Structure 1
Amino acid sequence: MRKLNNFPFAKVLVLGLAKSGTAVAKMLNRNGVKVIANDLKAPEDDENVQNLRSHGISVIVGEHPLSLLEDVDAIIKNPGIPYENILIENAIRERLPVLTEIELIPYFGIDDIVGITGSNGKTTTTTLIYEMFKKADYAVSLAGNIGHVASEVAEQMDSNQTMIAELSSFQLLGIDTFKPRIAVLLNLFEAHLDYHHTLEHYQNAKANIFKNQTDQDYLVYNADDHRIVTMIENAASTLVPFSHNQVLLNGTYCDDQAIYFRGEKVITLDAIALVGEHNLENILAAISVAKLHGISNHVIETVLTTFTGVDHRLQFVKEVNGRKFYNDSKATNILATTKALSAFNQSIILLAGGLDRGNEFDELLPYMANVKALVLFGETSPKLRKIGEAKGIKDIKVVDTMNEAVQKAYQLSDEDDVVLLSPACASWDQYKTFEERGNIFMESVHKL
């Protein structure tokens, strides 16, 4: 087990006791750092609270007393806690460092990191890269926003391991020294504005993935995304572009037959198992990372001819009386849902809705040509109904539960239709996670 090395803070306030907060508090305590943990919503009898106290860690719940800031050197906060939080606002005013747990990774001496971010496709790309490294017999660990607390993973890593980390804008906003050896920027789309407030702030958070890189590090980026091309203009990194529209002899590209890396043919398109044109960006990015690590075309082809996707991302569930049901619960923004809609030529019954983050849904309109019916739920139902009516969709139903949504969608469908859960919204108005939402959808399908 690795130890924190030259960690500059003797006393840390851990804010938020979700999965990452609890893990970080215990890890810092193991490494001799004085820890105070604070959570506004956790009850006194919460399992995490009791667990931390059993390790001798001070835990305050139910309030955010400003006195917590009087004797700490830094705050490590849960990524989802907004910067408008009273403790965070006062900490920034007092110039206390406010970090997220990925900032701990450098202090474990982890150098070989592949960090993946973007508005859409992070999990698929991260998983593809991980599978390619595993198939090539690299020692590799999966970490980050994909469900594995990155600093906890770093503590357990061997000296020869590579970390493959999915990184959100929330995580990247709270770094100081963290940097990946290879950074991947997939795309940039208006998202999480309830948290970042402006597209510029969101973009700046994403740009942190390469802010500490040098010319000894690589930045794999989407050359077809004009926002990203503008973002990376002043990057010090060695640039490796990818594109499905341009021939890039210094990067990864494709024609209508095959994918190439720096002019070398890697794999034919018809051999790839992963469906959906939108996944081509993810594949191009993953190939770029694999080739930079010297992984052979044979290994890349072996993975791409067998990998069919990740759970909750255009996941085929079941065919019921000629209707095909797909779980795309991980589509938590508009871009993800446009990609899902573009993947099908059949008529679609779309199940959508969720947390209202303040955005409208006009950008869905050009992609709804095949949508014959809408089944809506959650806070955004009125906004999505408005879009459906603007598109001229006659069958629009609003329901309260996912089970109702599935039953209603089946009633509205015909043989050869696709029933697609692709919410275009986060799940937190009704569900704890998008996984919970997707699992309930699949359970409801299997009950039909």
Structure 2
Amino acid sequence: MKKITTFENKKVLVLGLAKSGIAAARLLDKLGAIVTVNDSKAFDENPAAQTLLEEGIKVICGHHPLELLDEDFALMVKNPGIRYDNPMVVRALELKIPVITEVELAYLVSEAPIIGITGTNGKTTTTTLIAAILNADGQSAKLSGNIGFPASDVASEATPDDTLVMELSSFQLMGIETFKPKIAVITNLFSAHLDYHGSQEAYEAAKWRIQEHLTKENFLILNFNQEKCKALANQTKATIVPFSTHEKVDGAYEYDGKLYFKDEFIMNSADLSLLGEHNVENALAAIAVAKLQGAKNEAIISVLTAFAGVKHRLQYLGEINGHKVYNDSKATNILATQKALSGFDNTKLWLLAGGLDRGNGFDELADDIAGLKGMIVFGQTAPKLQNLAEKLGIPVFKSENVATALKEVLARTGNGDTILLSPANASWDQYKTFEERGDLFIQTFETLKNQ
């Protein structure tokens, strides 16, 4: 860790705990800052705050008192999930207190170079693939950021011989000031998080901040399948490395069923372990980073042919009585389910879908589910999905939840059929998170498999 003195004897407010807040508070304390943590959760129900207090860090819990900001703070480190219209954040900005997120701290102390990955879809899969390839090549890559490992925790332990492979959300990128990765990746840009950002333009501007401090010595990997990403190539000082499944580009591309990097054959598309065109895109982005990092083709091939997927993201669980089963609980919107469906033969596929009703219809899913062997629907949107399936002549059955849906579909499938949980809906009608929904599905799979 770099021994910086930037925060010595400076009063810093950490707003919001969770993993990133805890990591930021501890790092700042180690760097000599006078740290105050403010979290909305009551102290007696807040084990993290209790632990930090035991470590000598001041904590204020249960509410966000605006008068706290009268204490002449030099900096606020904000939990990424806290919006900028939060009264504490608004007041801090009015007082000219800089507001950053924890990834900026990570950059300031990291001795290791950073590969930063952002985008609407595919971030986690691409991040995981990149780290796996670099490690297979004998390099030391460490996952960090939005993927579940607080960036400042990982950065404080990293050495110059390591590489931080960091997943970055738009929320995190809004709170950077000097953050500069060696290589940046934007997987794609679709509509997302408009409730937080207010507009698609603001959301995309937040993502675009990943390249804000890059120079021609740095690389920006862009998805040239998207015209909006291709247009952005002229708006950065970084060296562009494109990837595409539609055309030959001066980077990573798919042509005639083969994957290339700058016209060097890497492997056949059919040998990828992950299904769907979106995963070909993810693989190409990972190949681009790996080749820029000097990884050997053998390492790339070994990972891309064996990778089983990230948990809850088109994760292959295995077989039950000749039925292949996939868990894509992360598919919390129609677009994610459309991408998942693109990798399967509908005539042998049963789709399990449903969840929170946000008021939208599902007509745009019609072309993607046409010809399905069958559907099991559940949750608040079950009636809407059932109606669509019946219009398309798809056999459809209602079930209570993902566990009962798996049991019911197994009773109806033929040998050689595939079962895909890809809900196309958020989970909050029945589950706290998509992870909880997916974990129940996995647990049910394991139980049924061992019967």
TM-score normalised according to structure 1 size:
0.91
Offset, 1:149? 0.5
Q: Which residue of 1 aligns with 2:200?
A: 199
Per the alignment, in what secondary structure is the counterpart of residue 165 of structure 1? strand
1:264-322 CA distances to partner (integer Å, 9 max, x unpaired)? 22223344333333211011111111111122223222322332322222222243344
Deviations 1:170-192 (CA, angstroms, capped at 9, x unpaired): 21122111121100111111122
Q: Offset at 1:223?
A: 0.6
In structure 2, the residue matched to 1:236 is 237
Q: What residue is the counterpart of 2:138 in the other structure?
A: 137
- Asked if the contact 2:309–2:316 (Cα under 8 Å) also holds between the matched residues in 1, the reply is no
Q: Could you give the per-residue CA deviations for residues 388-443 of structure 1, whole angstroms, max 9, x where no partner exists?
A: 566554525263x4323333444554444332111234445544443332111111
2:26 is matched with: 26
The two structures have a TM-score, normalised by structure 2, of: 0.90
Q: Distance in 2 between matches of 1:148 and 1:50?
A: 21
CA distance in 1, matches of 2:323, 2:405: 15
Counterpart of 1:332 in structure 2 is 332
CA distance 1:180–1:433, shift in 2 (3 Å) = farther
- Structure 1 residues 86 and 389: alpha-carbon distance in aligned structure 2, compared to 1, 3 A threshold: farther
Deviations 1:48-90 (A, max 9, x none): 1210110122222221111122222222122122223221232
- Where does 1:107-122 land on structure 2 (aligned, <5 Å)? 107-110=108-111, 112-122=113-123
- Deviation of 1:353 after TM superposition, in Å, equals 3.7
Structure 1 counterpart of 2:299, which letter? V
CA 1:320–1:270: 2 relative to 1, 3 Å: closer
8 Å Cα contact 1:111-1:181 kept in structure 2: no
- Where 1:317 maps in the other structure, the secondary structure is strand
| In the alignment, structure 1 residue 212 sits paired with structure 2 residue 190 | no
Q: Distance in 1 between matches of 2:358 and 2:205?
A: 19
The match for 2:76 is 75
Query: Could you tell me whether the CA contact under 8 Å between 1:115 and 1:183 is conserved in 2?
Result: yes
Q: Which residue of 2 aligns with 1:247?
A: 248
* Equivalent position of 2:190 in the other structure: 189
1:173 aligns with 2:185: no
**Partner letter of residue 341 of structure 1?**
L
**SS in structure 1 at match of 2:120:** coil
2:259 is equivalent to residue 259 of structure 1: yes
Decide whether aligned partners of structure 1 residues 56 and 243 sit closer, same or farther in structure 2, where only a CA change above 3 A counts: same
* Segment of structure 1 superposing worse, 427-436 or 235-244: 427-436
**% of aligned pairs identical?**
48
Q: Distance in 2 between matches of 1:428 and 1:259?
A: 39
Give the secondary structure class of the aligned counterpart of 1:441: helix
Number of the residue aligned with 1:61: 61
- What's the counterpart of residue 301 of structure 1? 301
Distance 1:148 1:380, change over 3 A: farther
Verify the 8 A CA contact 1:215 1:238 in the aligned structure 2. yes
Matched, 1:402 2:402: yes
8 Å contact from structure 1 (residues 5, 108) kept in 2: no
SS of residue paired to 1:84: coil
Distance in 2 of aligned mates of 1:385 and 1:4: 59
d(CA) in 2 for partners of 1:7 and 1:84? 26
Q: Does the CA-based 8 Å contact 2:118-2:187 persist in structure 1?
A: yes
CA 1:365–1:5 in 2, change beyond 3 Å: closer, same or farther? farther
**Greater alpha carbon shift after TM alignment, 409-418 vs 342-351:** 409-418
Structure 2 vs 1, CA of residues 383 and 270 (structure 1 numbering), >3 Å: closer, same or farther? closer
Per-residue Cα deviation, 1:166-216 (whole angstroms, up to 9, x for no partner): 111121122111121100111111122232232112111111111111111
Aligned equivalents of 2:404, 2:43: Cα separation in 1: 33
1:315 alignment counterpart? 315
Distance 1:300 1:334 in 2: 31
- Asked if 1 retains the 8 angstrom alpha-carbon contact of 2:112 and 2:162, the reply is no
Map 1:35-54 onto structure 2 (within 5 A).
35-54=35-54
Distance 1:305 1:318 in 2: 16
* Pair 1:303–1:319, CA change in 2 (3 A): closer
Report the Cα distance in structure 1 between the residues aligned to 2:364 and 2:4, rounded to whole angstroms. Answer: 46
Change (3 A) 1:443 1:392: same
Distance 1:294 1:32, change over 3 A: same
Gaps of 5+ in 2: none
**Letter in structure 2 aligned against 1:338:** Q
The 8 Å contact of residues 21 and 79 in structure 2, kept in 1 or not, is answered as yes
Q: Is the 8 A contact 1:4 1:31 kept in 2?
A: yes
Matched, 1:269 2:269: yes
Contact 1:220 1:241 in 2 (8 A): yes
**Which deviates more from structure 2 when the two are superposed, residues 159-168 or residues 374-383?**
374-383
- Report the 3-state secondary structure (helix = DSSP H, G, I; strand = E; otherwise coil) of the residue aligned with 1:208: helix
Q: Distance in 2 between matches of 1:313 and 1:277?
A: 14
Query: Which range is displaced more, 188-197 or 422-431?
Result: 422-431
Aligned match of 2:367? 366
Indicate if the aligned counterparts of 1:44 and 1:61 stay in contact, CA closer than 8 A. no
Structure 1 contact 194–358 (Cα < 8 Å) conserved: no
Are residues 136 and 318 of structure 1, via their aligned partners in 2, closer, same or farther at CA, if it must alter by over 3 Å?
Answer: closer
Count of matched residue positions in the alignment of Structure 1 and Structure 2: 446
In structure 2, how many angstroms separate the alpha carbons of the residues matched to 1:256 and 1:107?
Answer: 44
| SS of equivalent to 1:209 | helix
1:109-139 deviations in Å (ceiling 9; x for gaps): 4461111111111111111111111122112
Instruction: Report the counterpart of residue 349 of structure 1 in structure 2.
Output: 350
Match of 2:14 in 1: 14
Q: Is the 8 A contact 2:112 2:158 kept in 1?
A: no
